[in-house]
Amino acid sequence: MSGEISEVDLFGDPVISRQEGRGRPEHIWTRERSNKVLLAFARGLSVKDAATTIGISVPTLRKVYFSEVEKRSEARLRMEMVQLSRLNDQAGAGNVAAEKELIKQLDRLRQRDQQQQLAPAPTKAAAPKLGKKEAAKAQAQDVRGLYEPPAPPTRLN
């Protein structure tokens, strides 16, 4: 990297001074940006939103932060375990507030897991896809208004 980092912008990203030559400087992996990407995945954001949070494109995110993208599915679970282990360490050190919070978090997570087991995910029943002619026929059957055929007589004499 021939450009020197002189200052940071509004979001704390380094501003790289312009180098001689064409093109944009290559994106460089940093621990801070890696943590931002992992937090975005732990929050449940998409790859596109995670790329937006650190100011790069999706292909660049997949190229530079490929290991973070691979961990995307289990990021929320791993973040919960890190939080619980920190609370457990503080509770073991004698912090009563951390012990109470640990119990509260464990109960919340247990309830969430039970709700997910009891209420299965709704399945989407796919309607058979109609062709062009069948769709036009079905639409013609639903026509109401001026061109609707008259109702049959109610009484016969």
pLDDT of 157 reads 66
pLDDT per residue as tens digits for the range 17-68: 666 677 777 888 889 899 999 999 999 899 999 999 888 999 999 999 988 8
pLDDT per residue as tens digits for the range 99-153: 999 999 999 999 988 888 888 767 777 778 889 999 998 888 877 777 777 778 8
Q: Per this entry, what is the length of the chain?
A: 157
CA nearest neighbour of 53 among 63, 43, 91: 43
